[in-house]
Structure formats: C-alpha cells, structure tokens
Structure 1
Amino acid sequence: MEPRQVKTAADARKIVEERGLTHVKVGVHDVDGILRGKYLHIDKFNAAIDGGMGFCDVVLGWDSNDQLYDNVTYTGWHTAYPDATVRILPETCREIATEPGNLLFLCEFVDGAEALCPRGVLRRVLDRAARMGFEVKVGFEYEFFVFAETAFSIREKGYKNLKPISPGFFGYSVLRNSVLSDWYKDLLAMCETMDMGIEGLHTETGAGVLEAALRVRDGLTAADSAALFKLYTKVLAQKRDWLATFMAKWSKDWPGCGGHMHMSLWRDGASAFFDANGPHRMSKAMRHFIGGQQVLMPELLGMVASNVNSYRRLIPGFWAPTVASWGVENRTTSLRVIPGSAKSTRVEYRIAAADANPYLALAAAVGSGLWGIEHEIDPGEPIKGNSYEKKHPAKSQLPRTLMEAAGRVKASKAARDLFGDAFVDHYAATREWEEREFRKAITDWELDRYMEII
C-alpha cells in the first residue's frame, strides 16, 4: 500500500504492518504553525488511531521559543498543563523522504482544545464554505532564503555576515539553478515523495532566495502541504549543513519573503469565480469574495502577519502591499485578480508572508471572502497603476504593529463569527504576548544609535 492510498484507520494499520515499522512519527501544529510531535511505537499508534491519544496541552500554551504565555485562560500553571486529546488523521499519511520508509501522520486537537487548533479552525471555515455550496482550491507560493550556514554558525556570527548559497540579485536564473542542480533535484524529489508537489521552482530577486509554487489542492490538503513544505525544506537544507528561512524580512537590504495564496471557489465541478460576460471575467460571487477580503483585511491581518517581524516586510517598494486594496493583474495591491479561463481565474492574496501559519492565514483569507459573499460586499473599482502612489481611504489602512493587529482581531465581530470566541481571545492574547516579548529586547539599532551619543 502507498501512503496516498491511506484513508482509514484500518489502512493506517495495514501500511505500518506492511512496512514492518516499530515506530512512526506523529505531530500537531501549534499556533505559530510549528509541527510539534514525537516518534510513537506501533502498539501505541494502533491503539490511538481509533480513539486518540494524550498530548500535553502546553503546545497551545507556549510560544515558538517554548516560553509560557501568562495571559491565556485555556491552559497554564493554573490548569497544571494536563494532556489534551488529539486524533490521528489517517488520510494525512506521508512517507518521510528524509527518513526513507518511515511514515508521518498529522493530528488535530479535539474536545475543548479543538476550538484553538489551527487545523481545526481552517476545517471549520471550509465546512462553512461547503454549507454555502463551495469547494475551495488553493495554491501556496513561498519565497525563502537559503544560506551556506548551520543553525550553530548563524548564532556564532550573531546573524551577521551570513553567506547565501548564491550571490546578488538574479531572478529566474538558469545559471544558478544549473550550478545548484543537486539541491533543486533533491528538493523537487522530496516534495513529490511527501505529496506536496511543486509546480514551479526558481530563484527570486535576492541573494540565495528561491520561490516555490506548490500545486493547487483542496483547501485543507493545500494547507497541510504548505506547512510540511516549510518544515521539510528546512530539514533538507540542514541535513546538508545549510539553513533555509521563511522569516518575513531577515535583512533591510533584501526583499521580504512572501507566502502568497492563489485561491478560487468551485461549485459542482465548475468555477464559481468565472463569468465570461462579467467585468474582467469575474462572477458576482468573486466580486463579493474579494469585497469581503478587502473589508476584513485590516481586522484579520494579525492572523496573516502574525509575528513582530511580519510588519518589517509591509513597506512600500519591496513587492509587499501596504493597504487593503485590489487590482486586476496588479502586483502593487493586496489582492491581485488573475482573470483567465474558467479553470484559471483566481485571486492572489498577496498580503501574506512566508512566516504565517498556513492554516490560520488561509482561514482568514477564505473566511473573509465567504463573509463578503454572505453580506454581498462590493469591492468597488480596481486600483490601476501603482497602488503605493494612490490615496487610499482610512478604512483600508492596515495595522502597523503586531500589537495593533492583535487588538483589531480581538475587537472584530466578523472574526468571532467566523472563528469563534475561544479562538479569537486565545489567539489575540498570544500575539499580544509576542509583542511584549519583543519589547523586552534591546536591538543593535538602539545600541548603535544611543549608547555613545545620547
């Protein structure tokens, strides 16, 4: 049996037995989109595949640096960090390309923790789409830098003078991908093996930066693939003593890393976005979808730009949008309509960066679009020309800091309708914590500017 054939608990037991495995790998994604997991003996796996298993709920109670939130109610010292139940998802079975023969299964939190589980949040948004008669198709697109450095050397260097795997600005370079063809070959093969296939892979404009467009999938599968692509790209790089980063903006001298999402709605096998007679071949549903995305973007940005560093990227002139806006084939706007055939008409959600949790970013993008359809929100006229040079209404301005964005999420009635009170309160608190942690730090910029002279 092949991993892609696994659909049920019985299938999962069968493939594990066929391979003669003693252990498999299981994991659940936390609020930051980091996969937290373990190796699990097959006896435990076979028992858990039906009824679930315990997983310490600290996974929902700490940040990306394993520091404990002091401002959340679901878990903490006040609850003594008990186990929460997770369910193993047989249909997520993948062979681990970097561990030939071994298998990986994703999990979801259930019961009370399900309201906070990022994958669960997205699943509920997609269920909402299904109740409206829509299927969601998504293609994630990631930019990431790769350095000829290790996890140790970057720290020893203080994150300065890092050596990229290739120098200079050289987008779409055949020279670079030919010289580094072994790396490209390994990355492409790994993604095929792990069911997160790449449609296109090329150098972007920057030293050592690549862009990978993942193949279009159904919503939940696309998010699984995106989350695992980020993780295993890092794994593959580190196994050859390199380091890949999906940080939104690692240097002021280079463009930031986008994590764009191309999405469309379908109904009964046909595009719900395409109308041959509509302006720009856009259906009324597509216009309303974009209208909702545009209106709610300032409120939900904290789910898409989820880290302090995310806001370093959102500056004019570096291919990242700065206001909630839309245009047709316009890469200076937040939402880029790509009119094409019935199969290819879609919207590119360009505000998202590579550092976002793909489950939550997609939940925000799709959820706001569905809200637009439900409320028949018209997006107005598309932006023509350079959006950075236009005057935009105050309501389209985006939060400038993570703390501001967290406050907008918390105050959003639409967010509470789409994602639930428990998630909104917990998530906003985690982002407030993240900014508080940042404010404890003294940056090199401050030391250089103030220590001697002020």
Structure 2
Amino acid sequence: MSTDTQVIKDWLKQHQISEVECLVPDMTGNARGKFIPANQFLDMGEPRLPESIMVQSVTGEYCDEHWELVEPTDADMILVPDPSTMRVVPWAREPTAQIIHDCYTMDGKLHPLSTRNVLRKVLDLYAADGLQPVVAPEVEFFLVARNIDPDYELSPPEGRSGRKETSRLSYSIDAVAEFEDFVEDMYDYAEAQQLRVDTLIHENGAAQMEINFLHGDAMDLADQVFTFKRTVRETAHKHGVYATFMAKPMQQECGSALHLHQSIVRADSGENIFITEQGEHTEAFLSYIAGLQHYTPELISFYAPNVNSYRRLAPDISAPINLNWGLDNRTTAFRVPASSPAATRVENRFPGADVNPYLAIAASLASGYLGMKKQLKPSKPHQGTANEDEVEVARTLEEGLRNLGNSPEVQEVFGALFLKAYAAVKRDEFEEFNRVISSWEREHLLLQV
C-alpha cells in the first residue's frame, strides 16, 4: 500500500466516512465526478471518468470539434486522489468526504485537458527556477432571491428585517447582519473544511459580499476557491436563497470579481523577489507587471470565461478596461497595494467571480513568469483614474477567444491541445448564446428598423 493510500485510509477511518465524492474540476471550474461508498473506494482501484467531460460546454453540449480533441472511442481518464484535498462535506446527511483527483491518461501521463494540470505545469516552471508563487484571492458573490424562471430578472433576497436592499451599502456592518444566519453557517462550513477564509465585507451591490482568503500556495488556494464556491451555494440553499458567482447577474448592480493578489518568493528562503533590501521595487517586479500587461489581451478569456463576463468589464470604476498599473490605485487593472516591504505584491483585478480558479491563477502567474523571462518593461505607473483611458481588452467572449494562443510562448506553457479545446468549448457557448433573441432587440428593433 502506498503512503498516500494509507494516509487516505486512515483519514476516512478517523472521520468515520461512509461515502466519498471523487471530484474533478471541469473546464468551467465546476465539480464532476463520482460518489463511491467508502468501503469500496480504496479496494476498487483507481476511479475513471470519460475524458469527454473535459470538453463539455456549460450547457452540457459537446462542441463541433469534440472528436478532434478527445479519442473517438471516448476513452477513460484515470483519477488519482490528492490527499492534501481531503475534506468533510459538512452539509451532507451522512459522514461524507470530498477528495479532488488528478487526471491521467491511460498510459500514466498527466491529462492535458485537466485545468488543475494546467496550473501545475505553470507552477513547475517556477519550481525549476527555485521560485514559489504566493497568492491570495478575494471572491465576490451575490445573494439573490430564489428564481426558477430564467425569463425573470434576479433581485436581492429579503433579509431578517423582511426588506430587500435598495441602497449602496459598501462595508456596511448592518447590511451583513441582515444575513447573519447565512454568514454564520458559511463560516462554520468553511471551518469544517479547513478553508482559510479571512475577512468578510459587504460590497457595493445589493446583498453582494466579498470573502478574502489568507495568502498561500497557489494550488492550495485554487482548490480552496473551487471548494468555497460549492460551499456558498450549499449554504444559500439551506437558507432558501441563491448564491451566484456570475460576473454581472443584475443590470442595475455592479459586477463580481475574483481579484488575485500575487507575489513570488524564493523557495529556499522565502525572500520576496519583488523588493530589494533597501525597499525598492526590483527589475523582476517590473517585468512581472509588464508580463501581465503584455499577455492579458491574449489570455483575457481565462479571466472573463463566459458570455456574461464582459458585461462586467465596462467603463466604470469597479472593473478594469485597459492595461494600466498603479500604486494603490483601484481604477487600474494591476494594483500594487500599500504594504510592508515583505508583503509587496500585485493585485490582478481582471478576473471575474465566474472564473475557473485554476485557469485564472495559471494565466496570471504565467503572464508574470513570461514577463520576467523576457525581461519586459512596463508602462509608467498610472496617475489618476485609469477608466478615463481607452478600452484595451476584448469586450466579447468571441473577440477574446480570437486572441487566445497567438504567441508561441503561451502555446508552449498551456499546450496547443488545451488551448484548442478551451477555445472550441467557449466558442460553442458564444454561438449558442448568440442565437438567443433578447427582449432589448424585440423592444427597440421589432417595429423601428
């Protein structure tokens, strides 16, 4: 019995687990997998899933290029559990475990269509140079009233006062208290799963909240965000409301982001390579920012992965529309927060809350890595409101996908097959969305053009 197998077996016994959820993050970042009785989990051998689930769109459809991306026989992937991701499922009726699995091809290689493997490949590039990324995500989401008819607009839920929010209540303590029962259960669930959530605030939107995670290892944080999204949705269901991570769920409200704070340290010493002993920004730091500026147009579809995502990237103060960076300037895409020298970092403000966390983190870290390798130079830090400058990124998913994989270095980092599969899946989603005739078109074009 391998060490990992023994660790898992002991953990399942310690927690008296009766069922195991074998989880795999799909292209969208949602959980796919199997439920397996605990007494069979370790005896049945390695679980398997068809690799075709990796190229399903958010609607469950297969793209036209499906059989060019996976084996025409719809071959299986081998799933290998990662013991570091073992967590209880606090909302389950019976003692249940959830374990994130890595995907391998049948000949034992890391599967190229696994988004978790994409992030691992980027982290391996840093490890080869003796470096380790440190990240800290900030995740925003809305609570909304239950809505079973997609033709109706979403609205905020009633709080404990029996009223719905109508004002802009950023950082309001009383507004959070309206959903005190939800918040307490969410924290209890997070603690039971050892999610390192930190600060909770009320954001600018009605019933919009933000959770900050403590900084740490990039893969671990991606796993935590993946788990956290499930946790928030389950907590909301318990309280008779919905939680949504759509980037722009309501026309009159702001969007939801997943801001990524990131720094790079030396693996052996923990030294932050972004700052000198004299407290000055290093050339590596400037090249890292330049990499974010240079590669974001090419990788924007990893930060804005859905047709709805681009509604958030509008010319206002809450989301970036160009590639400026600045010192403690929240209107820029890449913000350098005021901090102690050891905590020097850059915040990527492009990702929406709807991202696959593995891909968003991979894209951001890969951009910085390539910037450092190519010794790119950034623009000067922006002064004033960056949103008054020109739009410099795609405004639709289709436009973003046309830019994906334009450079050979991005092709090499992410893999040509993965980029082709991602673009095919997301292009299919765009085309399906584009066939829908909206109420705006019927209202303004029906009798007037």
Normalised TM-score (structure 1) = 0.91
Match of residue 274 from structure 1? 275
- 1:347-362 mapped onto 2 (5 Å cutoff): 347-362=346-361
Match status 1:13 vs 2:9: yes
Match status 1:302 vs 2:301: yes
- 1:208-247 mapped onto 2 (5 Å cutoff): 208-247=207-246
Match of residue 169 from structure 2? 170
| In 1, Cα distance between equivalents of 2:406 and 2:66 | 17
Q: Which of 9, 24, 29 is 1:28 aligned to?
A: 24
Q: Is the CA contact (8 Å cut-off) linking 1:26 and 1:106 kept in structure 2?
A: yes
Q: Deviation at 1:330?
A: 0.9
| In 1, Cα distance between equivalents of 2:154 and 2:236 | 19
Q: Is the CA contact (8 Å cut-off) linking 1:33 and 1:356 kept in structure 2?
A: yes
Q: Deviation at 1:274?
A: 2.0
Q: Deviation at 1:391?
A: 5.4
| In 2, Cα distance between equivalents of 1:297 and 1:227 | 23
- 1:74-93 mapped onto 2 (5 Å cutoff): 75=69, 79-93=72-86
| In 1, Cα distance between equivalents of 2:193 and 2:61 | 31
Q: Deviation at 1:291?
A: 0.9
Amino acid of the structure 2 residue aligned with 1:449 = H
| In 1, Cα distance between equivalents of 2:433 and 2:335 | 32
| In 2, Cα distance between equivalents of 1:53 and 1:391 | 50
- SS of the residue 1:410 aligns to: coil
CA deviations on 1:267-287 (whole Å, 9 max, x unpaired) are 121211122536xx3222111
Q: Is the CA contact (8 Å cut-off) linking 2:246 and 2:256 kept in structure 1?
A: yes
Q: Is the CA contact (8 Å cut-off) linking 1:264 and 1:345 kept in structure 2?
A: yes
- SS of the residue 1:36 aligns to: strand
- 1:342-421 mapped onto 2 (5 Å cutoff): 342-390=341-389, 397-421=392-416
Q: Deviation at 1:8?
A: 2.2
Q: Deviation at 1:42?
A: 2.3
Match of residue 3 from structure 1? none
CA deviations on 1:10-61 (whole Å, 9 max, x unpaired) are 111112123333321111000010111221122441036xx63211223112
| In 2, Cα distance between equivalents of 1:416 and 1:58 | 22
Amino acid of the structure 1 residue aligned with 2:104 = V
Q: Deviation at 1:342?
A: 3.3
Amino acid of the structure 1 residue aligned with 2:348 = Y
| In 2, Cα distance between equivalents of 1:179 and 1:428 | 42
Q: Is the CA contact (8 Å cut-off) linking 2:334 and 2:348 kept in structure 1?
A: yes
| In 1, Cα distance between equivalents of 2:150 and 2:334 | 38
| In 2, Cα distance between equivalents of 1:80 and 1:167 | 53
CA deviations on 1:189-237 (whole Å, 9 max, x unpaired) are 2112212222110111111111111121201000000111112101110
Match of residue 4 from structure 1? none
Q: Deviation at 1:260?
A: 0.6
- SS of the residue 1:227 aligns to: helix
CA deviations on 1:281-340 (whole Å, 9 max, x unpaired) are 322211111111111110111111111111111111141000122111111111001242
Amino acid of the structure 2 residue aligned with 1:313 = R
Number of residues of Structure 1 aligned to a counterpart in Structure 2: 436
| In 2, Cα distance between equivalents of 1:239 and 1:413 | 48
Match of residue 123 from structure 1? 120
Match of residue 432 from structure 2? 437
Match of residue 161 from structure 2? none
| In 1, Cα distance between equivalents of 2:110 and 2:423 | 16
Q: Deviation at 1:113?
A: 6.7
| In 1, Cα distance between equivalents of 2:19 and 2:230 | 20
Match status 1:284 vs 2:304: no
- 1:84-233 mapped onto 2 (5 Å cutoff): 84-99=77-92, 101-111=95-105, 114-149=111-146, 154-156=147-149, 158-160=151-153, 162-165=155-158, 166-168=164-166, 169-233=168-232
- SS of the residue 2:437 aligns to: coil
| In 2, Cα distance between equivalents of 1:328 and 1:84 | 46
- SS of the residue 1:263 aligns to: strand
Amino acid of the structure 2 residue aligned with 1:156 = D
| In 2, Cα distance between equivalents of 1:120 and 1:114 | 7
Match of residue 49 from structure 2? 55
- SS of the residue 1:348 aligns to: strand
- SS of the residue 1:159 aligns to: coil
CA distance 1:96–1:442, shift in 2 (3 Å): same
CA deviations on 1:102-132 (whole Å, 9 max, x unpaired) are 2110012112671110000001101111111
CA deviations on 1:138-173 (whole Å, 9 max, x unpaired) are 111111110132xxxx13362325343440211111
Match status 1:41 vs 2:37: yes
- SS of the residue 2:91 aligns to: coil
| In 2, Cα distance between equivalents of 1:365 and 1:157 | 33
| In 1, Cα distance between equivalents of 2:121 and 2:353 | 23
Q: Which of 64, 86, 101 is 1:70 aligned to?
A: 64
CA distance 1:67–1:198, shift in 2 (3 Å): same
Q: Is the CA contact (8 Å cut-off) linking 2:26 and 2:54 kept in structure 1?
A: yes
Q: Is the CA contact (8 Å cut-off) linking 1:73 and 1:426 kept in structure 2?
A: no
Q: Deviation at 1:449?
A: 1.6
Bigger drift between 85-94 and 64-73 goes to: 64-73
| In 1, Cα distance between equivalents of 2:413 and 2:443 | 45
Q: Is the CA contact (8 Å cut-off) linking 1:108 and 1:120 kept in structure 2?
A: yes
Amino acid of the structure 2 residue aligned with 1:266 = V
- SS of the residue 1:271 aligns to: coil
Normalised TM-score (structure 2) = 0.92
| In 2, Cα distance between equivalents of 1:18 and 1:362 | 33
Unaligned runs of 5+ in 2: 159-163
